A and B are shown apart, each in its own frame.
Chain A
Amino acid sequence: MIKALDAAGEGKANAYLKRLMWPLIVLAALLIVNIVVTGFGFIVPEVHDGRLGGAFVNILRRSAPLLLISLGMTLVIATKGIDLSVGAVYAIGAAVACQFLLDRDQSSMQNVAVAVALALAIAAVIGAWNGTMVAYFGVQPIVATLIFMIAGRGIAQLITGGQIPNVADSSPFVEIGRGAVATVPVPIIIGVAVFAALVLLTRTTALGMLLESVGGNPEASRLAGIRSKGITVLTYLIAGICAGLAGIMGAANLGSADANNGGLWIELDAILAVVIGGTALLGGRFFLLGTTIGVAIIGTLEVTIINVGLSSQWQFTDKAIVVFIVALLQSPEFRAWILKPFRSRGAGQAPTEPDSEKALAK
C-alpha cells in the first residue's frame, strides 16, 4: 500500500516513465544489435505488393496474437490473478472458426463473420467460466484456469475431430491474418485497436482504478463498496475474448487450425511479456503500454537470435535467462542483497522506503 501512495505522490506520468524506462532500453538495445548486424533496413518499413513489409514490421505483425493475449493477461494479473488457459482458448478459437468454415461457403463474408463471432462467443464463455470459478467459487486463479489449460486442447481436438481443418487462401477469413488495409497489415490494426480500446476502457473510466484496487487488496475494495466479483469475472472474460481473437488471427495467418500445437506455450510468453512490461505478478498497478513493449521485446529477441547467427534452439535458453533476470530484478530481497556492498552503513538503517521506490523504477 505504501508503494501505491508513493507512486501517487510522485505524479502519474513520472511513475509511468520510470516503469517503462527499463523495457524501452532493452528494446532499443535489441534493435541496435539487429541494425548493426543486418544493416539499417531492419527498422525501415517498406511497401511490398501494397502492404507494409520489412523485418521490424513483420515482427510486429507476427507478435499481434501474443500482444492480444498479453493485454488480456495484464488485466487478469492486475486483479492478482493469472490465466493459464489462454493457450488452450487460442486453440479452441482457431478450431471453432476453421471448423465452422470447413463445410460452408468460405468466400461468403457472412459465413466468415459468423465463424469469427461464434469463436469469440465460445472464448468469452470459457473466460467467464474461469472468472466465475475464481470470483464466486473462491478457487485460486492458477488452479481454476489449470482445468482448461489441461482440458482445452482436448476440446479443440474434439471440435476438429483430430484433423487440421484448412481454409482456402481465397477466403476473406485469411485476410484477418495476412491482409492489409491502407498498406498496414490487419493483425497490427487489430492489435492497435484492442490496445486502444482497453486503454480507453481502463484509463478514461473508473474501471482501471477499480481493477488496481481489487488487485491491491480485494478485501479492502469489497469493504469500500467495489463489486470486486463482477470486475474479476469481467477481466477473465476479456482475457478469454482476447485469446480467442488471437487464435482466429493465428489460424487466419496459417490458413489452418492445429489443435495440438497452435498457441503452444503462448500463456508463458504472455506472462513473460506482462512481467517484462513492469506489471508485478502480485497484482495492483498495471501497464498496458509496458506489456506492449514486452511483447515487442520477445518478438525482437526471437529474430535477434537468428540474426546474430545462433541456432533457433537458443530461443528457449535466452527466454529462461530473461525470465530469470526479470524475476530477480523484481525481488526486493535480491536488490537489497546485491546493493548491500554499495550502501554505506548509515543508509542501511532505513532500507524499505528507497527499495519500494526502486520497485517502481524497475
Chain B
Amino acid sequence: MSSATLTERPTRSTLFDGLSRYIPIGATVALLVAMYLGGVANYRNFDNPQLIADLFIGNAGLLIVAVGMTFVILSGGIDLSVGSVMAFSTMACAWLTVEAGLPASVVVPSVLAFGLLSGAFTGAIIHYFDVQPFIATLAGLFLYRGLTLQISDHDMSIREIDFFSWGMQRVEFGSPRDGGFSLPYISFIAFGVVILAFVVLHYTRFGRSVYAVGGSEQSALLMGLPVARTKVGVYAISGFCAALGGVVAAFYTKSANPLAGVGLELDAIAAVVVGGTLLTGGAGFVLGTVAGVMVMGLLSTIIAFQGNLSSWWARIVVGVLLLAFILLQRVLARSGERRKG
C-alpha cells in the first residue's frame, strides 16, 4: 500500500537535475543581494555590519526551527506543531526554574530531551499508523499550546535566573566605531545548528536517506533504506529544534509568553520554501533555509527603515515571494519532466 499523503507527489523523483537544481537557491541569494543593495542605496546606516548581525539575533529561534522544518519537508512531511512546542519549552524552562526551583543545568537538557522524544513519538505515529503528517502534527499544535496555557496564562519572567543571562552576552568582532559588530551566544547556537544540519544532510547516510524518502518513499523502501528510522528521525530532529528554539527564545526575551510563536510554523515553512526547498520533499538545501530566514528578516528590517509602511506588508510580500517560488518550482519541475519524457 502506498503511503497515504495529503499532497500529491510528482511522479518522477528527480525533478531537479544538473545545474537547474541550483536555480531556486540562486534566485533566493540574488533576491537577498538585491534587497540588501536596495536598502543600502535608499536608507542611511543600512550598510552598518551590525544590521546583518541583527538578522541572526532576532531570528535565531526562527532559524533553528526552520532548520528542523527543512529536515521534515525534505522527507516529504510537514510539522505544524513547532510554534506550540517552542512556546511550551520556553514556558517549561520558566516554570521549572522559577516555580519548581530546579537548577537550569537540569531543566534545559531535559526540555531538549523532551522535544526530541515528543518529535520521535509524533514521527512514530505518522510512520507506523500511517497517519497524515498534517493531522498528527496538528494534534501537537493544539496539545502543546493547551499545555503551555495550562502552565501559565500570563507572562512569566525568568530575569532572576542567572543562567538565562548567558545567551545574550555578546562577542565583539572589532569595535562598533570602525565597522565592527557583535553577536550574542544565541546566534552561535543557531550557527552551530546550521553547520550540524549541513553536515548531517549532505555527508551522512541519514541525510541521504532523508532526500531519498522525500523523493519517493516507496523507492526508498525498495532500495532497502531504513525508511522507518528516517521518518521518525526527521520529526525527532524537528521536535528537538523546536525545543531548542524555545530555549533560545527564553534567552532572548528572558520571559515566557503563553502565546509566543503563534503562526511561527507558517514563518518556518515560508522560510524553507523561499530558501528553495521543494515542499513535496526530496530537493533543497539547508543553507537555502538560512537564506530564506535572512530574506524574511531583511524584509522586516527594510519595512522598519522605511518607517511609513506597516508591518502587515511583510506578510503580503512573504505571500508573494512564496507564490513566486512555488511557480518557479513548478516551471522547473515541468521542464525537468519534459527533458526526461
Contacts and interface: CB of A to CB of B under 8 A. Distances in A.
Interface of A: 80, 82, 137-144, 146-155, 157-158, 162, 259, 268, 271-272, 275, 281-282, 311, 313-321, 323-324, 327-328, 330-334, 337
Nearest to A319: B142
B312 A331 contact: no
A153 B142 CA distance: 21
Interface in B184-243: none
B141 interface: yes
Contacts of A272: 138
A268 B134 CA distance: 10
B168 interface: no
B313 A316 contact: no
B160 interface: no
A147 B322 contact: yes
A151 B319 contact: yes
A64 to B, nearest CB: 22
Given A316-B142, A317-B143, A333-B129, A157 B7 contact: no
A232 B105 CA distance: 54
B139 A139 contact: no
B6 interface: yes
A148 B316 CA distance: 9
Given A151-B316, A313-B149, 20 more contacts: A137-B327, A140-B8, A143-B279, A147-B322, A148-B319, A150-B266, A150-B318, A150-B322, A154-B312, A154-B313, A155-B316, A316-B142, A316-B145, A316-B149, A319-B146, A323-B142, A327-B132, A331-B131, A333-B128, A333-B130
Contact of B279 (A140, A154, A271, A321): A140
16 contacts: A137-B330, A142-B78, A143-B273, A150-B266, A150-B315, A150-B322, A151-B318, A152-B319, A155-B316, A271-B135, A272-B138, A314-B150, A320-B140, A327-B125, A327-B131, A331-B129
B39 to A, nearest CB: 21
B142 A271 contact: no
B29 interface: no
B310 interface: yes
Interface string B293-328: 000000000000000001011111011101100110
A181 B219 CA distance: 60
A66 to B, nearest CB: 15
Contacts of B326: 139, 143-144, 147
Contacts of A332: 130
A141 B5 CA distance: 12
A313 B91 CA distance: 15
B96 interface: no
A324 B139 contact: yes
B129 A337 contact: yes
A239 to B, nearest CB: 16
B31 interface: no
A151 B130 CA distance: 31
Contacts of A275: 135
The 4 closest A-B pairs by CB, nearest first: A151-B319, A316-B146, A154-B315, A317-B146
Nearest to B334: A138
B334 to A, nearest CB: 8
B270 interface: yes
A206 B28 CA distance: 46
Interface string B262-278: 00001001100100000
Q: Give the dominant DSSP class at B's interface.
A: helix
Interface string B95-139: 000000000000000000000000000000100111110111011
Contacts of B13: none
Interface residues of B, number: 46
B147 A317 contact: yes
B19 interface: no
Given A323-B135, A331-B130, A331-B131, A146 B146 contact: no
Nearest to B127: A333
A150 B319 contact: yes
A323 B135 CA distance: 7
Nearest to B4: A282
A4 to B, nearest CB: 15
Contact of A82 (B6, B139, B145, B327): B6
B281 to A, nearest CB: 11
B280 interface: yes
A313 B316 contact: no
A48 to B, nearest CB: 32
Nearest to B267: A150
Interface in B137-170: 138-143, 145-147, 149-150, 153
Interface string B236-264: 00000000000000000000000000000
Nearest to B130: A333
A146 B266 contact: yes
A150 B312 contact: no
Nearest to B81: A320
A142 B269 CA distance: 12
Interface string B28-65: 00000000000000000000000000000000000000
B295 to A, nearest CB: 14
Given A137-B330, A141-B7, A281-B6, A147 B323 contact: yes
B7 A143 contact: yes
A332 B143 CA distance: 24
A146 B134 CA distance: 13
B85 to A, nearest CB: 12
